[in-house]
Amino acid sequence: MQTIDKFNFAGKKAIVRVDFNVPLDENGKITDDTRIRGALPTLKKILADGGALIIMSHMGKPKGKVNAKYSLGQIADAVSEKLGVKVQFVADCAKAQAEAAALKPGEVLLLENLRFYGEEEGKPVGIDKEDPAYEAAKKEMKAKQKDFAKVLASYADCYVNDAFGTAHRKHASTAVIADYFDADNKMLGYLMEKEVKAIDNVLKNAQHPFTAIIGGSKVSSKLAVIKNLLDKVDNLIICGGMGYTFIKAQGGKIGESIHEDDLIPEALNIIAAAKEKGVNLSLSVATVAADAFSNDANRKTVDIFNIPDGWQGMDASEASLENWKKIIMNSKTILWNGPAGVFEFDNFSHGTGEIAKALAEATQKNGCYTLVGGGDSVAAVGKFGLADKVSYVSTGGGAMLEAIEGKVLPGVAAIKGE
Ligand code: AMP
Each residue of 297-313: pLDDT tens digit? Answer: 999 999 999 999 999 99
The residue from 73, 375, 382, 406 that is catalytic is 375
- The mean pLDDT value of the chain amounts to 95
* DSSP reduced 3-state for 54: strand
169 is catalytic: no
Residue length of the chain: 418
- Residue 99, ligand 1, Cβ within 6 A: no
Strand ranges in 99-233 using DSSP code E only, listed in sequence order: 108-111, 158-161, 186-188, 210-214
pLDDT (tens digit, 9 = 90+) per residue, 163-206?
999 999 999 999 999 999 999 999 999 999 999 999 999 999 99
CA-to-CA distance for 31 and 24, rounded, in angstroms? Answer: 5
Residue among 342, 377, 400, 401 whose CB has most ligand 1 atoms within 8 A, to mutate: 342
Q: 185-224 b/e with 16+ CB inside 10 Å = b?
A: bbbbbbbbbbbbebbebbbeebeebbbbbbbbbbbeebbe
Distance 405 CA to ligand 1 centre (A): 20
Task: Give residues with Cβ within 8 angstroms of 184, minimum separation 6.
Answer: 2
Of the pLDDT bands very low, low, confident and very high (cuts 50, 70, 90), residue 340 is: very high
Strand ranges in 283-374 using DSSP code E only, listed in sequence order: 286-290, 299-303, 306-307, 312-316, 333-337, 369-372
DSSP β-bridge partners for residue 302: 287
Q: Which atom of ligand 1 is nearest to the CA of 342?
A: 12
Give the mean model confidence (pLDDT) for residues 382-392.
91
Q: What pTM did the predictor assign?
A: 0.91
375 is catalytic: yes
Residue ID of nearest Cα to ligand 1 atom 2: 216
Give the mean model confidence (pLDDT) for residues 248-263.
98
Provide the pLDDT for residue 397.
Answer: 81
Provide the pLDDT for residue 418.
Answer: 66
Where on the phi/psi map is residue 84: left (φ > 0), alpha (ψ -120 to 50), or beta? left
Q: Which one-letter amino acid corresponds to residue 65?
A: K
Least confident of 90-99, 102-111, 119-128: 119-128
44 is catalytic: no
Residue among 213, 217, 354 whose CB has most ligand 1 atoms within 8 A, to mutate: 217
Give the mean model confidence (pLDDT) for residues 223-233.
96
What percent of the chain is predicted at pLDDT more than 90? 90
Least confident of 277-281, 323-327, 405-409: 405-409
In this structure, are residues 316 and 239 in contact, taking their beta carbons and an 8 Å threshold? yes
Provide the pLDDT for residue 380.
Answer: 83
Q: How many CB atoms lie within 10 A of CB 383?
A: 18
Helix (H) or strand (E) segment spanning residue 56: strand 52-56
CA-to-CA distance for 272 and 49, rounded, in angstroms? Answer: 55
CA-to-CA distance for 208 and 145, rounded, in angstroms? Answer: 44
Q: Which atom of ligand 1 is nearest to the CA of 337?
A: 4
- Residue 338, ligand 1, Cβ within 6 A: yes
> Does residue 95 carry a pLDDT above 90?
yes
Give the mean model confidence (pLDDT) for residues 218-246.
96
> Does residue 209 carry a pLDDT above 90?
yes
> Does residue 34 carry a pLDDT above 90?
no
Cα–Cα nearest to 14, from 24, 2, 26, 22: 2
Distance 408 CA to ligand 1 centre (A): 27
Provide the pLDDT for residue 384.
Answer: 87
From residue 269, alpha-carbon distances to 212, 223, 227, 408 in Å are 18, 11, 10, 25
From residue 211, alpha-carbon distances to 9, 51, 286, 332 in Å are 41, 43, 21, 8
Provide the pLDDT for residue 375.
Answer: 67
Distance 261 CA to ligand 1 centre (A): 17
What percent of the chain is predicted at pLDDT more than 70? 100
pLDDT (tens digit, 9 = 90+) per residue, 311-333?
999 999 999 999 999 999 999 99
Of the pLDDT bands very low, low, confident and very high (cuts 50, 70, 90), residue 379 is: confident
Residue ID of nearest Cα to ligand 1 atom 1: 216
Provide the pLDDT for residue 373.
Answer: 86
Residue ID of nearest Cα to ligand 1 atom 12: 342
Provide the pLDDT for residue 250.
Answer: 98
Which stretches within 20-131 are classed as H helix? 34-49, 76-83, 97-102, 118-121
Residue ID of nearest Cα to ligand 1 atom 13: 217
Q: Diameter of the chain by CA atoms?
A: 71
